[in-house]
Amino acid sequence: MDQELLSEAESVIETAPDAAPEAERPESGVPGPLAGASGPLPPAGVTLLQRMFQAYPGSLMLRQGNWHIRLGGQAAHLPPAFTLVLNNPTALRRLLMGRDPLRFAEAYFSGELDVEGNFFAALQLKDHLSGLTLSWGDRLRLALRLLAPPPGASAAGLRAAGVQRHSRDENKAAIAFHYNLSNEFYALWLDPAMVYSCAYYETEDTPLERAQWAKLDHICRKLRLQPGETLLDIGCGWGALVIHAARHYGVHATGITLSERQSTLAQARIAAAGLEGQVSVRLCDYRDLTGQFDKIASVGMFEHVGLRNLPTYFGCVNRLLKPGGLFMNHGITHEEEGWGQALSSRFINRYVFPDGELDRVSHVMQVMEQQQFELHDVEGLRMHYAKTLRAWVQRLEQGHEAALHHVDEARYRVWRLYMAACALEFESGELGLYQILASKRDGGPAPVPLTRRHLYEPH
């Protein structure tokens, strides 16, 4: 280590005051210095933080104990949109020094860091932090003066096992990791039908319940469901689509899922709706399903099959679809080709969906065509998903206390952060959501009308 650098860093520690003047305490109305490991941060540390955040376009507050500091390019002119509360000074190490940005998320999960104020604005701070470059001198000053050693506790218990090949066993374990939390936990913030996918907002002020009903109906209309037809829902969740399609369109519906908890609740809901014999839900991998169906839907499922398995997935769907039938694939896409190691992808695979992989919609459509599908309609719904996620976050926050009866605080924070971050990514266009309507390429006439008028006429 450079001796001159070490001496400079040590001098920062030695010159730190033991206490701040009374006028600098928060209760005086004047922003005070941030407390370090053994007292408030010295002027050199304050200057460093101010320099690091001078390009931040807004205003934020950083607080630890009885000390706080206002940061940002508009700190002197705008009230802070949010406050980062450091319950443990090591949280700042995760924020500013760690090579793995997910350590910051772990600090939030474990309660070392809290957010007060606008949670969505706080998440947008990642765009500023990702562009920060610290010299080794600055890193050492922060490490020696501002931060204590990292704690022994970690968020390892929140992490999922990695998925390598998207085998049947890996996919089943990944689904269990995500969905086996508690049906009651999901019911707290989903709509009454428990639709865990993008809603369809016909107006800006449409309630979530109505928007999810409209989405289910939008899918049924696109598939042109008719009484007596057979419908397959691949990745049926808690059974919302198969129940809706049977009740309102008279089809015989089959849903498949890998989640035992979803299957159990779906079957109970089918029985309660009096649809036994017309609707069934099976525990089954899509690769093992046999038979043929008039219509097939897949809503929010193909993201989990793995990019290398997309030909297998769409090939299986083509095999299961009757000639002249329709298939609708509803799923999330990414602005970049392939599923790389961006912060968002690492976060999702580590804490939320171990088997999740996304790609551009152009590649998805290319694979569908290679598997002998003719594409009839493509509809982008990313802003609908942004609204859906914001509604889910609001409902989750309102049900915070009730949620803790089903999951611990750390898991609650994972879901809150995950859904809020995804809402921002849909709003920015980093994530997309597309419904792709297709049929077997069989040389016959297309099984769709000449116009889309049937989608909007009264049913």
Q: Which helix (H) or strand (E) holds 85?
A: strand 82-86
Q: CA-CA distance, 169 to 269, in Å (whole number)?
A: 27
Residue 253 inside a domain? The answer is yes
Contact 278, 253 (CB under 8 A): yes
Q: CA-CA distance, 260 to 97, in Å (whole number)?
A: 42
Residue 24 inside a domain? The answer is yes
Are 391 and 447 contained in the same domain? yes
- The string of pLDDT tens digits covering residues 264-297 is 999 999 999 999 999 999 999 999 999 999 999 9
Are 369 and 244 contained in the same domain? yes
Burial (CB < 10 A; 0-12, 13-18, 19+), residue 165, is exposed
pTM listed for this prediction? 0.82
Contact 225, 205 (CB under 8 A): no
Does position 310 have pLDDT exceeding 60, yes or no?
A: yes
Q: Which CATH number does the domain housing residue 242 bear?
A: 3.40.50.150
Burial (CB < 10 A; 0-12, 13-18, 19+), residue 73, is middle
Q: Tell me what the mean pLDDT of segment 434-450 comes to.
A: 94
Residue 161 inside a domain? The answer is no
Does position 4 have pLDDT exceeding 60, yes or no?
A: no
Residue 295 inside a domain? The answer is yes
Contact 409, 111 (CB under 8 A): yes
Are 372 and 271 contained in the same domain? yes
Question: Considering only CA atoms, which of 201, 114, 161 is closest in space to residue 385?
Answer: 201
Are 331 and 434 contained in the same domain? yes
* Beta pairing class for 60-64 and 67-71: antiparallel
Task: Please state, in angstroms and as integers, the Cα–Cα distance from residue 385 to each residue in 100, 332, 381, 419, 432, following that order.
Answer: 28, 9, 7, 10, 9
Are 330 and 380 contained in the same domain? yes
Residue 156 inside a domain? The answer is no
Residue with tokens 């998925």: 163
Are 136 and 266 contained in the same domain? no
Burial (CB < 10 A; 0-12, 13-18, 19+), residue 297, is buried
Winning range, highest mean pLDDT, from 107-111, 397-401, 408-412: 397-401
CA angle 324, 293, 172 (to 5 degrees): 130
Q: CA-CA distance, 455 to 458, in Å (whole number)?
A: 9
Query: Which value, in Å, is the radius of gyration of the alpha carbons in the chain?
Result: 26
Give residue 428's pLDDT band: very low, low, confident or very high (50, 70, 90): very high
Contact 199, 384 (CB under 8 A): yes
Give residue 169's pLDDT band: very low, low, confident or very high (50, 70, 90): confident
Q: Which CATH number does the domain housing residue 77 bear?
A: 3.30.1050
pLDDT, position 172? 74
Q: Is 422 a catalytic residue?
A: yes
Are 302 and 347 contained in the same domain? yes
The DSSP string of 367-391 is HHHHTTEEEEEEEE-HHHHHHHHHH
Residue 40 CB-half CA count within 13 A: 21
The residue annotated as part of the active site, out of 198, 236, 316, 422, is: 422
Give residue 1's pLDDT band: very low, low, confident or very high (50, 70, 90): very low
What would the two tokens of residue 139 be? 């890193």
The DSSP string of 132-199 is ----HHHHHHIIIII-PPPPS--SGGGPPPP-SS--HHHHHHHHHHHH-S-HHHHHHHS-TT---S--
Are 285 and 356 contained in the same domain? yes
pLDDT, position 132? 65
Q: Which helix (H) or strand (E) holds 423?
A: helix 409-428
What would the two tokens of residue 39 be? 């007292």
Burial (CB < 10 A; 0-12, 13-18, 19+), residue 47, is exposed
Three-class SS state of 9: helix
Q: In what order do the strands lie in the sheet with 67-71?
A: 67-71, 60-64, 82-86, 113-117
Residue 155 inside a domain? The answer is no
- The string of pLDDT tens digits covering residues 213-222 is 999 999 999 9
Task: Please state, in angstroms and as integers, the Cα–Cα distance from residue 294 to each residue in 185, 245, 290, 439, following that order.
Answer: 35, 13, 13, 10
Looking at the structure of the chain, the number of domains it has is 2
Higher pLDDT, 337 or 416: 416
Are 112 and 172 contained in the same domain? no
Are 124 and 225 contained in the same domain? no
Residue 87 inside a domain? The answer is yes
Q: CA-CA distance, 68 to 30, in Å (whole number)?
A: 9
Domain range holding 327?
A: 168-455
Residue 158 inside a domain? The answer is no
**221 contact partners, CB below 8 Å, separation of at least 6:** 454, 455, 459
φ, ψ of residue 240 in degrees (nearest 5): -60, -45
Does position 380 have pLDDT exceeding 70, yes or no?
A: yes
Whole-number average pLDDT of the chain:
83
Are 215 and 142 contained in the same domain? no
Q: CA-CA distance, 434 to 129, in Å (whole number)?
A: 31
Are 127 and 249 contained in the same domain? no
